[in-house]
Structure 1
Amino acid sequence: MKKILIIEDDLAIGNLMKMAFELNQFSYELSVTGQDALQKILSYQPHIIILDLGLPDLDGTEIIKKVRSWSKTPIIVVSARDDETDKIEALDLGADDYITKPFSIDELLARIRVALRRVDEIQPASNLFTNGPLTINFLSQDVCVNEHEIYLTPNEYLLLEVLSRNVGKVLTHNFLLKSIWQDALDTDIPNLRVFMATLRKKLEIADSPLIQTHIRVGYRMIHY
């Protein structure tokens, strides 16, 4: 049974999540403070963390920093902070996803399933990646969509590889820029958008969109 740690000081929202997780056969623990949450992450060892940023003792971003210093456990932020800068900061620090309150329980459960599948399917030693119609051979850098090989420029391929190695995870503009050009600046975001547009054009033969845009935040490869 998958274990979820809820870090949420609003008991009404915490109880709503607990009922949903019981119905979907998840095990769970609830922390209402950041310090208690950090202890439970070590003792309970959850498969996924649901994190509110506005905690009474620690800002949620501090928890993301601490957890990411030693763990890759998926973190889904569920917060009332709806400003893009808050989303970008949390995602840049290592959060896997960001949902703004008020939220749909069905959406939260869907995001949890995606994050858990991504963890279950990680195969570090494998050179072959498959996601729906997309197949990538990381060794030869061959890319096929619906069994048709497509040609990508070096930058397009790097973008696709980073997205595929983080399938289901929202990647910020800054993260993508630094992954491709280490000395990139925020002013390079228009160039990133151009490369992303040409990459998507080449992926259009897929039955369904492979890359989702998060306006003013970044991009996510959809998990099939």
Structure 2
Amino acid sequence: MSGQKILVVDDDLHIRRLLHGTLTRAAYGVVEAKTGREALERAADAQPDAILLDLGLPDRDGLELVPTLLRRARVPLLVVSARESTDDKVAALDLGADDYVTKPFDGEELLARLRAALRHKVIVQGNSPILRAGDLRIDLPNRQVCKGDIEVHLTRKEFDVFAQLALSPGRVVTHSRILAQVWPLEEDRRIEYLRIVVRNLRRKLETDPAQPLVIRNEIGIGYRLMAEA
């Protein structure tokens, strides 16, 4: 049994019922809010373990709520929205959302992304500095990546980019966030730099670089490392 409590913020009764059923079948407890105001109250008093947030709320835009909710409850936050634009997705992720799920959604995929976000919270708290992704072993403190029993040599930039993904396993990390962290002094942080580094990482780390299973593209948004603690 999970025993973890999820705050569902959505003004659509049908969606709330759908999410309630999906979450309770997976042994999560559910707290609901229909407005931004209710969401802030529940985030403070219900002590949820994660938040699922719709952007189209009746009293305020959900994007405005992301940083405020994260200050009220320092927990994983996943946006679940019908908005499909890349700009909305990038904005939500750069504001601190752990993931972005587009409606209509598949229940099992939503649960998988929720588990990844909750797992990331444990890693951030320092419980597991070692990650695994397929046959890769990633030791962040020692800046070491091994494929099977063999250490893979990465350049400084390659490791720095890979570390940004490894710090958020299972989550989308936006292009802009990686560029800001890895090339902080570049006035023109061209995405071509990042694409070249990711291509080199896939050549060194993936079994088949043409069909990557470890470093996944989120087209127009960023990359996701399929890793486990």
TM-score normalized by structure 2?
0.90
Alignment of 1:222 onto 2:226: yes
Distance 1:223 1:137 in 2: 12
Distance 2:90 2:187 in 1: 15
SS at match of 2:19: helix
Q: 1:175 to 1:71 in 2, by over 3 A?
A: farther
CA contact (8 A) 1:146 1:205 kept: no
Q: 1:136 to 1:40 in 2, by over 3 A?
A: same
**Please, which moves more after superposition, 135-144 or 3-12?**
135-144
CA contact (8 A) 2:70 2:77 kept: no
CA contact (8 A) 1:133 1:147 kept: no
Per-residue CA deviations over 1:79-118 (Å, capped at 9, x if unaligned) read: 1110100100000101111111111112111211222222
Q: 1:148 to 1:99 in 2, by over 3 A?
A: same
Give the aligned partner of residue 63 of structure 1.
65
SS at match of 1:42: helix
**Please, which moves more after superposition, 124-133 or 181-190?**
124-133
Task: Give runs of aligned pairs for residues 152-167 of structure 1, distance below 5 A.
Answer: 152-167=154-169
**Please, which moves more after superposition, 116-125 or 94-103?**
116-125
Alignment of 1:30 onto 2:22: no
How far the C-alpha of 1:125 sits from its partner, in A, is: 7.1
Alignment of 1:73 onto 2:55: no
How far the C-alpha of 1:172 sits from its partner, in A, is: 0.5
The percent identity for this pair of structures is 39
How far the C-alpha of 1:139 sits from its partner, in A, is: 3.7
SS at match of 1:49: strand
Give the aligned partner of residue 105 of structure 2.
103
Task: Give runs of aligned pairs for residues 140-155 of structure 1, distance below 5 A.
Answer: 140-155=142-157
Distance 2:127 2:114 in 1: 25
Q: 1:134 to 1:123 in 2, by over 3 A?
A: farther
Q: 1:127 to 1:16 in 2, by over 3 A?
A: closer
Return 5+ residue gaps in structure 2 as ranges.
Answer: none
Name the amino acid aligned to 2:223: Y
SS at match of 1:76: strand
Q: 1:89 to 1:204 in 2, by over 3 A?
A: same
Give the aligned partner of residue 4 of structure 2.
2
CA contact (8 A) 1:133 1:145 kept: yes
Name the amino acid aligned to 1:53: L
Give the aligned partner of residue 85 of structure 1.
87
Q: 1:70 to 1:37 in 2, by over 3 A?
A: closer
Q: 1:64 to 1:164 in 2, by over 3 A?
A: same
Q: 1:106 to 1:140 in 2, by over 3 A?
A: closer
Name the amino acid aligned to 1:163: L
Distance 2:124 2:132 in 1: 11
Moved over 4 A (4+): 184-187
SS at match of 1:156: helix
Distance 1:88 1:9 in 2: 23
Alignment of 1:210 onto 2:227: no
Distance 1:26 1:126 in 2: 23
SS at match of 2:60: coil
Root-mean-square deviation (CA, aligned residues, Å) is 2.1
TM-score normalized by structure 1?
0.92
